[in-house]
Amino acid sequence: MIAIRILVVSFLLVSTVAQLPSQDILALLEFKKGIKHDPAGFVLSSWNEESIDSNGCPSSWNGIVCSNGSVAGVVLESLSLSADVDLSVFSNLTKLVKLSLSNNSITGKIPDNIAEFRSLEFFDVSNNLFSSSLPQGIGKLTSLQNISLAGNNFSGTLDPIVGLRSIRSLDLSRNSFSGSLPTTLTKLMNLVYLNLSFNGFTKRIPKGFELISDLEVLDLHGNMLDGTLDVDFFLLSEVSYVDFSSNMLMSSDMEHGKFLPKLSDTIKYLNLSHNQLTGSLVTGGELSVFVNLKTLDLSYNQLSGELPGFSFVYDLQILKLSNNRFSGAIPNNLLKGDASVLTELDLSGNNLSGPISMITSTTLRILNLSSNQLTGELPLLTGSCVVLDLSNNKLEGNLTRMIKWGNIEFLDLSRNLLNGPIPEASLQFLRLNFLNLSHNTLSSSLTSAITKYPKLRVLDLSSNQFDGPLLADLLTMPTLEELYLDNNLLRGTVKFSLPSLGRANLNVLDLSHNQLGGYFPDEFVSLTDLTLLNIAGNNFSGSLPTSMSDLSALISLDISQNHFTGPLPSNLSSNIRNFNVSFNDLSGLVPENLEKFPRSSFFPGNSRLILRNGPGWSDNPDVRTGRRKMNTIVKVIIIVSCVIALVIIILLAIFFHYICISRKNPPELATAKDIQRRSSLSSAGIGGAGTGSNLVVSAEDLVTSRKGSSSEIISPDKKLAAGTGFSPAKSSHFTWSPESGDSFTGENLGRLDVRSPDRLVGELHFLDDSISLTPEELSRAPAEVLGRSSHGTSYRATLESGMFLTVKWLREGVAKPRKEFAKEAKKFANIRHPNIVGLRGYYWGPTQHEKLILSDYISLGNLAVFLYDRPGRKRPLTWAQRLKIAVDIARGLNYLHFDRAVPHGNLKATNVLLDGADLNARIADYCLHRLMTNAGTVEQILDAGVLGYRAPELAASKKPQPSFKSDVYAFGVLLLELLTGRCAGDVISGEEGGVDLTDWVRLRVAEGRGSDCFDTILLSEMSNAVAEKGMKEVLGIALRCIRTISERPGIKTIYEDLSSI
């Protein structure tokens, strides 16, 4: 009996133990605890103890793979999981072979006990939020064959991976790894795929990758690797895909003028774009360097010379050589393609010249020859081209040759010298969806032929000489979404009607600056999809119809510079974010829903229009009556006050003038010769300065106007002399370039420092051997004022050789003593980067005010003149251009912070210069605080506060100094400017009162209206889901940049995040 009882108890114990959760299940349930959000319920609704198989393995759980009763795989990919997990729990899964958590929002780190994952062969946590450095134990995973940590925020070096003997695929891209690439990478002899792109690796690429016989893909792009290309690798390697783009690599065979002597036959894809390669593609005859390539991208380098014929290349499908310095004619073989399979050719942004007779290739689909020096007429034939960009050349003649062109879908002929009408017989463009003929001299009336293109979505005929009436059928084309007819000579009224069974899809309509007249077209209200309507600068008149409220999708409305009368409609769309009715004759009260816009939206003009709480308004009618009675008294008081103030100012001016004269030594007094020079200059300069210019009041003006303490007040003669160059004896006319983004008034000019001598007699020091000139030659250089900042005035100097230089004349008292100045300046000698403006030298004169800094001149101008809606603004930027500019700036800052270990210190839109046809962004005025006194640095930071770029911690500090984190804050503000098109220093008025840009954006985001912040110019692109997603991602990045200093990320993280969009 006792034996039976013992047997029963033993049986019950065994049963109980068998029902206990296994070690694998406990580990999985522990992991489950860290999941905060599972939108599909993939894990949370499936992982429970009730659904365990009889063998103890939960194979019925979603994402779990079992083998022989143990968990062999955990696969939770692309589930939008939000979790904070501890991966160390998986060390209990002793048979785990595959762990994949990719494409989620999981935070955590690689556990220190990763070496205990002994069976692991596949490890993928890509595109999550993991961080920290690699633990040493990861190198002990001898069974690991595939590891992907891409798209996280891992940092540190790669030293721990040395022991991964079995690894075949290693993807660490889009992280924050840094340091040099370890030579141990070349010892991983089983590697097939290696991707280390978009990190912060520096120094040279280690030798030895050519010894890995199985290696097929080597991707190192988007780092800061330097040195020369390894000839042995390119000659002996077995790889098929090589991407070293976006680094700082240089050519390997400069002795013979070739950028690379030879390539391995196995390389099919080669991308070396965005580096510093020099030399030519061939020297001494055509060499079959690229004979086996299918894709070759050498764009954005410094390659030069003529292009080879490429007659020896039979497999090449994609060839990109844009933005180099190639010259000469385009080889016929590239356009004829008798034995070629070329499908894409990009030669834009070079100095290629000559005509293009015809394009007969039957394989070429994408052809970009924009921004060259091509001449002659349009080509007779375009072959099989689907995308054709010939913009920004010197092509001339009429458009009749287009009659024989084929199935083009994208055609850009803008910014050429084309003339004549659009041919009537050009009906063959059955697939055309984008046509840009802007900025030519096309004339005659608009032809009905363009209304017959059945798939046309975007039509840009702006800035030509088209006349006659507006073609009504253009407005009712069923496929047309964007129509730009601004800056032509169109006249007459606007009348059209929609077809009975159809509807127009126009989103953007720009008819500004023509000669159109009549009443506001009632037909516009039938264009219900309109988001942007611009009819400014015409001759429209009459009252505005109340039916304008039907334009419910409208976001931007500009009817300024017309002759509209009467009140503003009270029910306009509340979605409008950009509004301008100035320079009309409107009257009455401004409707409440429009009061959120600044005064500049209504005035000048509209003298009878009244803003609540503005001039001319009071809630009390008696007060208004009393004011009318008091008008005469007020006028008298104002006049008397002005006269008294003027007398006081004159007396003070005489007093200070006397003080200045008494302090000067006799040799410094103006001679008769000087007076004669300045008199002649005054008469010569009047014509050059112009007479009628608009006054723009912005944060830039506030900074400039408060510098009275730093420069003397000078006579009108000297004001003109100030703009002529580095010596008042120069006789060139005063000119001002709108590229600087600054506004110059008479007061500003009066404060320019003009106390330079007739000749520069100090010492001129150069930081490299790229230029050579004497101080006297620099004295003779004609100069043009570019702009003024807190630390001095910038000029464009034209040397006798024709070369341009930017010369910054430092204001007296801001430069350090000579020895310290020279020591710091020499440190700039090695700062060379595609996104940094190179400093070339400095001049140290015998007096305090003779300190000059010489740098490269960038002709296109700064970001502000492309971005802000002000006089002199250049063509607005597209979203793709803005995103590229943001990435360029981040890359330049990343270089300064990590490679040179110095903050910029003065980042703002006017210090971002745009270069070349692709608007390559280059940062200027970097590290000037290293050359300035503490007082000069503090003043620079104060100016940054006025302009809206100063970080909060600098405002709170008694002794502020630029830092890496303050650069990130300024960069965040720049991102907001790129997104909104607004100036950071301007006060934005709205329901919440006047706020600056950062607060305005924060308020909109907090209200769930983040998209309302985007520039109205970008509205047409927001219909593209990818573009809209990118804008929102950049907005999120910008908001992270302007957090408190403890929460603000580093520039490397920001750069990687932007690059991945």
Q: Please give the residue that has the higher pLDDT: either 14 or 982.
A: 982
pLDDT at residue 425 in the model:
66
Percent of the chain with pLDDT over 70: 81
Kindly tell me if the per-residue pLDDT of 733 is higher than 60. no
pLDDT at residue 957 in the model:
76
Are the C-beta atoms of residues 75 and 65 closer than 8 Å to each other? yes
Give tens-digit pLDDT for 212-233.
999 999 999 999 999 999 888 9
Q: How many residues in total does the chain contain? A: 1061
| Edge-to-edge order in the sheet of strand 278-279 | 278-279, 302-306, 325-328, 351-354, 373-374
Report the range of poorest mean pLDDT among 72-76, 176-180, 1010-1014. Answer: 1010-1014
User: Sorting pLDDT into bands at 50, 70 and 90, what band is 253?
Assistant: low
Kindly tell me if the per-residue pLDDT of 58 is higher than 90. no
Percent of the chain with pLDDT over 90: 35
Specify the 3-state DSSP secondary structure of 246. coil
Q: Please give the residue that has the higher pLDDT: either 145 or 262.
A: 145
Give tens-digit pLDDT for 944-961.
767 788 888 887 777 788
User: Sorting pLDDT into bands at 50, 70 and 90, what band is 2?
Assistant: low
pLDDT at residue 525 in the model:
82
The alpha helices in 228-292, defined as continuous H runs, are 231-236
The alpha helices in 551-671, defined as continuous H runs, are 621-663
pLDDT at residue 402 in the model:
87
pLDDT at residue 286 in the model:
45
The structure tokens listed for 839 are 């400093």
Kindly tell me if the per-residue pLDDT of 830 is higher than 80. no
Q: Please give the residue that has the higher pLDDT: either 314 or 374.
A: 374
Q: Please give the residue that has the higher pLDDT: either 239 or 632.
A: 239
Report the range of poorest mean pLDDT among 451-465, 576-590, 711-725, 871-885. Answer: 711-725
Sign for the CA dihedral angle at 768, 774, 775, 779 comes to negative
pLDDT at residue 759 in the model:
58
pLDDT at residue 632 in the model:
65
Pairing of strands 912-915, 122-124: unpaired
CA dist 632 and 293 (Å) reads: 85
Question: CA nearest 858: which of 840, 881, 838, 872?
Answer: 838
Give tens-digit pLDDT for 482-541.
999 999 999 999 888 776 555 678 999 999 999 999 999 888 888 888 999 999 999 999
Give tens-digit pLDDT for 1027-1057.
888 999 999 999 999 988 888 999 988 998 8
Kindly tell me if the per-residue pLDDT of 883 is higher than 90. yes
Question: What is the chain's Cα-based Rg?
Answer: 34
pLDDT at residue 505 in the model:
84
Give tens-digit pLDDT for 922-945.
998 887 777 777 777 777 777 776
Pairing of strands 783-789, 763-766: unpaired
pLDDT at residue 288 in the model:
59
> What DSSP letter does each residue of 663-719 carry, written as one string?
HS-GGGSPPHHHHHHHHHHHHHHHHHH-S------SHHHHHHHT-GGGS----HHHH
Give tens-digit pLDDT for 393-418.
999 999 988 888 878 999 999 999 99
pLDDT at residue 778 in the model:
83
The structure tokens listed for 556 are 């931007």
Per CATH, the number for 679-857 is: 3.30.200.20
Mean pLDDT confidence for 353-366: 90
pLDDT at residue 861 in the model:
83
Mean pLDDT confidence for 754-770: 64
CA dist 382 and 378 (Å) reads: 10
What is the average pLDDT value for the chain, to the nearest integer? 80
Burial of 420 (0-12, 13-18, 19+ CB in 10 A): middle
Are the C-beta atoms of residues 753 and 793 closer than 8 Å to each other? yes
Give tens-digit pLDDT for 452-482.
888 999 999 999 999 999 988 888 888 999 9
| Sequence ranges of the domains in the chain | 20-172, 198-279, 679-857, 868-1061
Are the C-beta atoms of residues 445 and 470 closer than 8 Å to each other? no
| Residue written as token pair 């830092």 | 963
| Residue written as token pair 């009675």 | 629
Kindly tell me if the per-residue pLDDT of 145 is higher than 90. yes
8-state DSSP, 448: G
Which region holds residue 220: left if phi is over 0, alpha if psi is between -120 and 50, else beta?
Answer: alpha
pLDDT at residue 11 in the model:
44
Question: CA nearest 87: which of 149, 21, 167, 172?
Answer: 149
Consecutive H or E run containing 1041: helix 1025-1041
Give tens-digit pLDDT for 636-691.
788 888 888 888 888 888 877 766 665 444 333 233 333 233 333 222 332 333 33
Give the CATH architecture of domain 868-1061.
Orthogonal Bundle (1.10)
Mean pLDDT confidence for 342-367: 92
Give the CATH architecture of domain 20-172.
Alpha-Beta Horseshoe (3.80)
Q: Quick one: how far is CA 934 from the chain centroid?
A: 32
Kindly tell me if the per-residue pLDDT of 864 is higher than 80. yes
Mean pLDDT confidence for 716-720: 32
pTM for this model (two decimals): 0.61
Report the range of poorest mean pLDDT among 42-56, 422-436, 792-806. Answer: 42-56
Kindly tell me if the per-residue pLDDT of 752 is higher than 60. no
Beta bridge partners of 988: 995
**Which amino acid belongs to residue 59?**
S
Kindly tell me if the per-residue pLDDT of 838 is higher than 90. no
Q: Please give the residue that has the higher pLDDT: either 241 or 872.
A: 241
